[in-house]
């Protein structure tokens, strides 16, 4: 048997009786409180793939209407693969991060070309799809094909850390490999679908990053983070909430250090402006870079051309633009 590298070892092994209690409490809570989401009423791997790509960096509330609209425009994987990239981007707007739309179509085309139009079932094969990482591969395997596999997104990682290890800024901390190893270790037999969905729901609605609702958490009695804070206070619920909020504030402050620049001055803002403007042009029509610059930035001048070329270069690299000597257009 091969030895585990230090980075892949779980800091400790949860007691079996604790794991059993957590299984029972969380699955019972999920049976009563689960969110009614449309991608949970299907085992169509294509529809689940669409939902998983859309949910990356985007809140559920924003995804819900676009998910239905996207599937109406491209009902099957073959429809998506055959569409023009410009059409796919047009339907994707205004979800943002338009490169996800290009990546989704690229996956569809790869599946059509290499897998006879059927999204593979195994994690190993799913990981061969360009743009599919371990979380998405696990989600498709579990939610579409009901494989008994663990998967870890931001919510799942946070819940597992707090329940079995304690607060995020306490020791020990989980790296990515350890988080997956822990998720696999505590996966209940035959319950992967409900368990993974339950962890995500708890992280999204109760055990949130910025406003954890410990007083109504079904795992409160079995939570290491709750116990960690409770022992220091005569009023444990309030103490835990304050400490967890401090954790979230530290993370928010760290992430916000480099966000002083107004969004309307960022390259991401102008990337969106470029794509939105090009969508208004007739199909296949190109526009010179200088003209494009004046359309997206009223103060554009010749000195801004290198800046614009850099943004356009990134969009071309992401598959969002087609650039030639006489200008740019959507693919």
Are 285 and 329 within 8 A, CB to CB?
Answer: yes
Q: Are 159 and 28 found together in one domain?
A: yes
Same domain, yes or no, for 105 and 201? no
CA angle 132, 187, 115 (to 5 degrees): 30
- Looking at the fold, whether 30 and 58 belong to one and the same domain comes out as no
Asked whether residue 226 is assigned to any structural domain, the reply reads yes
Q: What would the pLDDT profile of 31-42 be if each residue is shown by its tens digit? A: 999 999 999 999
Question: pLDDT tens across 280-312, in order?
Answer: 888 778 888 888 888 888 888 888 888 888 888
Separation in Å, CA 25 to CA 32, 183, 206, 237: 11, 17, 14, 19
Are 195 and 210 in a shared domain?
Answer: yes
pLDDT of residue 219: 96
* Domain identity same for 110 and 238: no
CATH number, domain with residue 305: 1.10.10
Torsion of CA 100, 64, 128, 80, to 10 degrees: -70
* Claim to verify: residue 53 and residue 91 sit in the same structural domain: yes
Question: Are the beta carbons of 26 and 217 closer than 8 angstroms?
Answer: no
Domain shared by 159 and 239, yes or no:
yes
Q: Is residue 5 part of a domain?
A: no
285's tokens? 């029509």
The answer as to whether 3 is a domain residue is: no
Q: Is the pLDDT of residue 235 over 50?
A: no
pLDDT band, residue 241 (cuts 50/70/90) = low
Of 142, 152, 175, nearest to 39 by C-alpha is 142
In the Cβ-directed half-sphere of 158, how many Cα atoms lie within 13 Å? Answer: 20
Helix/strand/coil for 65:
helix
39 part of a folded domain: no
Q: Is 321 contained in some domain? A: yes
pLDDT (tens digit per residue) in 53-69: 999 988 999 999 999 99
* Residue 1 forms part of a structural domain: no
Active site residues: 52
Specify if 4 maps to a domain.
Answer: no
Are 138 and 163 part of one and the same domain? no
Confidence of residue 11 (pLDDT cuts 50, 70, 90): low
Final residue before a domain boundary, out of 127, 143, 159: 143
Please give the angle made by the CA atoms of 92, 95 and 100, to the nearest 5 degrees.
65
pTM of the predicted model, to two decimals? 0.77
- Any domain includes 2: no
Query: What is the Cα–Cα distance from 227 to 240, expressed in whole angstroms?
Result: 8
CATH code of residue 119: 1.10.340.30
- Same domain assignment for residues 72 and 126: yes
Among 256, 278, 301, where does a domain finish? 256
Q: How many domains does the chain have?
A: 3
Domain holding 315, by residue range, is: 263-329
Mean pLDDT of all residues in 86-91: 92
pLDDT tens, position by position, 108-150: 999 999 999 999 999 999 999 999 999 999 999 999 999 999 9
Shared-domain flag, residues 276 and 247: no
Chain segment 256-277, per-residue pLDDT in tens: 554 556 767 788 778 888 887 8
pLDDT at 262: 75
What's 11's DSSP letter? Answer: S
End-of-domain residue from the set 89, 121, 143: 143
Total length of the chain:
331
Let me know whether 30 and 163 are in one domain: yes
**54 and 30 in a common domain:** no
């Amino acid at each position: 048997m091969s030895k585990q590298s230090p980075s892949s070892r779980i800091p400790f092994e949860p007691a079996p009786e604790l794991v059993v209690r957590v299984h029972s409490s969380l699955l019972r809570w999920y049976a009563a409180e689960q969110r009614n989401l449309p991608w949970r009423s299907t085992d169509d791997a294509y529809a689940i793939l669409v939902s998983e790509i859309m949910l990356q960096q985007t809140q559920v509330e924003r995804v819900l209407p676009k998910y239905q609209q996207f599937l109406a425009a491209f009902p099957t994987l073959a429809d998506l693969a055959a569409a023009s990239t410009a059409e796919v981007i047009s339907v994707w707007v205004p979800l943002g991060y338009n490169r996800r739309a290009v990546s989704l179509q690229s996956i569809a085309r790869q599946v059509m070309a290499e897998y006879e139009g059927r999204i593979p079932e195994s994690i190993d094969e799913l990981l061969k799809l360009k743009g599919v990482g371990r979380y998405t591969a696990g989600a498709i395997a579990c939610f579409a094909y009901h494989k008994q596999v663990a998967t870890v997104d931001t919510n799942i990682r946070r819940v597992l850390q707090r329940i079995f290890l304690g607060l995020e800024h306490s020791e020990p901390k989980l790296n990515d490999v350890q988080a997956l190893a822990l998720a696999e270790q505590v996966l209940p037999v035959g319950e992967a679908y409900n368990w993974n969905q339950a962890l995500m729901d708890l992280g999204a609605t109760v055990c949130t990053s910025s406003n954890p609702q410990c007083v109504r958490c079904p795992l409160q009695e079995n939570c290491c983070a709750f116990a960690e804070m409770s022992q220091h206070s005569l009023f444990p619920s309030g103490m835990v909430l304050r400490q967890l909020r401090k954790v979230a504030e530290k993370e928010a402050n760290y992430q916000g250090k480099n966000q002083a620049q107004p969004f309307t001055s960022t390259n991401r803002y102008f990337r969106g402006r470029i794509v939105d403007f090009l969508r208004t042009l007739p199909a296949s029509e190109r526009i010179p870079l200088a003209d494009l610059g004046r359309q997206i930035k009223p103060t554009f001048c010749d000195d801004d051309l290198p800046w614009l070329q850099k943004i356009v270069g990134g969009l071309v690299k992401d598959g969002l633009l087609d650039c030639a000597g006489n200008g740019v257009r959507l693919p």
